[in-house]
Amino acid sequence: MTGSNGGKRKLVADRRYPNGTKAKKKPEKKAKKPLFRKKTAARKPKRASTRKRSSNPIVRLVGGLLRWVGRLIWLAFSRGALAFAVVLGIAVFYIYSTLPPYSELLDGRARGSVTLLDRNSSVFAWRGEQFGGQITADTVSPYLKNAIVATEDKRFYRHFGVSPRGVASAVRINLSEGRGPLSGHGGSTLTQQTAKLLCLGVPYDPEQWKNQTEYEADCREGSIARKAKEAVYAMAMEARYSKDEILSIYMNRAYLGSGANGFEAAAQRYFGKSAAEVTIAESAMLAGLLTAPTRYAPTNNLERSQERAGIVLLLMNQQGYITDEERAYAKSHPAELSETAEKRAGGYFADWVMGAGPDFLTRDTTEDVVIETTFDQRIQSAAEEALTWIFENKVREGSEAQAAIVVMSADGAVRAMVGGRKLKVSGAFNRATQAKRQPGSSFKPFVYATALDMGWSYDDPIMDEPITINVPGSGPYSPQNYDRKFHGLVTVTDALKHSYNIPAVELAMDAGLENVRTVASTFGIESDLAQGPALALGVSETTLLEMTGAYAGILNGGSSVTPYGLKSLRLKGDNTALMGQEGGLGERVITPDSAQQLIYMMYNAVQSGTGARAQIPGVEVAGKTGTTQAARDAWFMGFTADYVAGVWMGYDDNSPLTGVTGGGLPAEIWQRTMAQVQDGLEPKPLPMIRPASPPTVQRAQPSGNGQRSNDKADNVLIDLLGAIFGNGN
């Protein structure tokens, strides 16, 4: 090919290489060696696949079958998982749609509570299912909120109602401790525990359940099926409520021992303050109760409760809720019970008062009830301290002897009650109100009251000599004095002062046994009274409460009283009383003059008679001892101008006491109790006659018809006839 200029056209190759040869490559510059060579891992050569398709048809068949089964299993598993997820979602959504507003779930008690106030309107006891009021996670102490989460569910704010990690951990712990995988620790989240407290939304139905205990037992069932239902219910709650709302439900419903439902009730019961005010140490103690409310209740064992609180403090510290310094301080300054909770005073009294109102407002109430009572915590403490001191210092160790004390005002208002040596109790056998025992000679004042009202006088003479009375249906009856002696002619005052039996029987026969029974029963001794002359010696059974009430009638001038402890009963939050006092002063039994003479005679029994150990320096005391046959019961009944008190001592099985009479330990318990009761009170004189001189044997014996003659000639004639024919008994 030639160009326009006639020359040969250069080929492209000629243009690229003008000399007709390929251009030599320029020598490449050597890369500079780095000062430090990087170490690189040597690449491993790829391994040739060792997998060879077998030429054996059987092997190929088996392999294909296995691959087909695997795909089938995977398909079934994936489809089953999908179906399970759909069913679970439907179940969760269904429960979600049935859940009420969380505020309706805060108080789920089937029964109400009874709060008992003393005479100064201070709380001293609770009964029933106490609920302190609604609280929320925002209104309680932040320490309490953190203590609950740290103790019960540290992942509470991170899970969806169920914690797989928690379940796995619980299974591991159970297996390591030799139990079944689901026996013991359940791995339940706090939400699941709340679901259990709600009984999965199933309300209590009296027609379906025999009682509430059976219902609650069913709610606590721990089967696998029940756990599955709890999990579904918990997830529905997580979808329906916020975390703090779930926590609020839990804090209001959790049982924390001693009848306290919810942390507000527990804080008030144990510490006398609101749940919003509890300290770190108190919060730890409350949260520690969740594991075993009855076992760790501080009113049952404070030391054990404090030890459990120490574990909660450690958990709070490990999870960052409190500092090392805060933990150390709380551990060295553990929570203590309030003064009221520590005393747990008046358990016997509270149980007795609960029986004073109708059951639907007390034992079986569905409302929260407040009862104002006559109870005096100062007097109760005095009685409890006196009983404890006597048994610790004057009764042999290991003795099973029991004692009871009742203190009341002259109008029948009961101020204190001890029903046995075990003081911090609820629902225990009350020996002050339930035990019927023979009062012995402490019954004699009612014989003398009858005689005085029939015309006898405190200074009248009476013979203490052997007598035999023919009792129809029983034969001859010959009473004996305690000292097995006879003391001749004595005054009525001396006969009571020294507790002679024969004069008491003579007076009872003279005044009329039926009259004595009438006076005693009208004064308040409601038990069946003996028919024969032994009535005068206290062989009829009665209770300490009845006897104390009867003595109150003597103190108030001769009017009967009905012992009472309930002043008013109202619903909580309502100022209108549903019922008021049922008891107090009743009808007149004996004249004021007879009562004043009898009080003077009983005053002498303490001043220089069988009740000398009951004397209180600077305070006038009147009383009477009582010791039954074989010393099975020992009593001291007495009063000052302010209060009446009765003390009984004996064995529950009616065994004889050893070396104990009414003028011994019972009188000492009475004296120690009343000395503290009178401490700080201005001493008042007893309402009694005050003769210029002590009575002496100067007057004649009374006639057999119960009427006294004031004519001196009649007295001389009676003396003469008595000298000739004897006393007629």
Among all residues, which ones are annotated catalytic?
152, 441
Q: What is the C-alpha separation between 495 and 719, in angstroms, rounded?
A: 20
Contacts of 697 (CB under 8 A, 6+ apart): 461, 489, 490, 491
Closest CA to 219 of 74, 209, 145: 209
Both tokens of residue 438? 């023979």
With 0-12 / 13-18 / 19 or more C-beta atoms within 10 angstroms meaning exposed / middle / buried, residue 28 is: exposed
Q: What is the C-alpha separation between 33 and 244, in angstroms, rounded?
A: 66
Give long-range contacts, CB 8 A cutoff, 24+ apart: 481-488.
482/627, 488/463, 488/464
Q: What is the C-alpha separation between 222 and 179, in angstroms, rounded?
A: 14
Asked if 408 and 643 count as a contact pair (C-beta separation under 8 A), the reply is yes
Which residues are paired to 650 by β-bridges?
402, 633
Q: What is the C-alpha separation between 690 and 688, in angstroms, rounded?
A: 6
Both tokens of residue 269? 């019961």
Helix (H, G, I), strand (E, B) or coil at 370: strand
Q: For residue 462, how many other CB atoms are within 10 A of its CB?
A: 24
Asked if 294 and 257 count as a contact pair (C-beta separation under 8 A), the reply is yes
Helix (H, G, I), strand (E, B) or coil at 475: strand
Q: What is the C-alpha separation between 508 and 495, in angstroms, rounded?
A: 13
Asked if 587 and 519 count as a contact pair (C-beta separation under 8 A), the reply is no
Strands (E), 362-478: 369-373, 402-408, 414-418, 461-464, 469-471, 475-477
* Residue 673: half-sphere exposure toward Cβ, Cα within 13 Å: 35
Distance of CA 115 to the CA centre of its chain: 12
Strands (E), 506-605: 559-562, 566-571, 579-580, 584-588
Q: What is the C-alpha separation between 639 and 262, in angstroms, rounded?
A: 45
Q: What is the C-alpha separation between 507 and 594, in angstroms, rounded?
A: 15
Both tokens of residue 683? 């001493």
For helices 544-555 and 444-453, what crossing angle results, to 10°? 30
* Residue 76: half-sphere exposure toward Cβ, Cα within 13 Å: 6
Asked if 156 and 319 count as a contact pair (C-beta separation under 8 A), the reply is no
Asked if 487 and 501 count as a contact pair (C-beta separation under 8 A), the reply is no
Phi and psi dihedrals of 152, rounded to 5? -100, -30
Q: What is the C-alpha separation between 383 and 645, in angstroms, rounded?
A: 10
Closest CA to 531 of 508, 555, 552, 565: 508
Q: For residue 56, how many other CB atoms are within 10 A of its CB?
A: 10
The three state secondary structure string of 231-258 is HHHHHHHHHHCCHHHHHHHHHHHCECCC
Asked if 676 and 386 count as a contact pair (C-beta separation under 8 A), the reply is yes
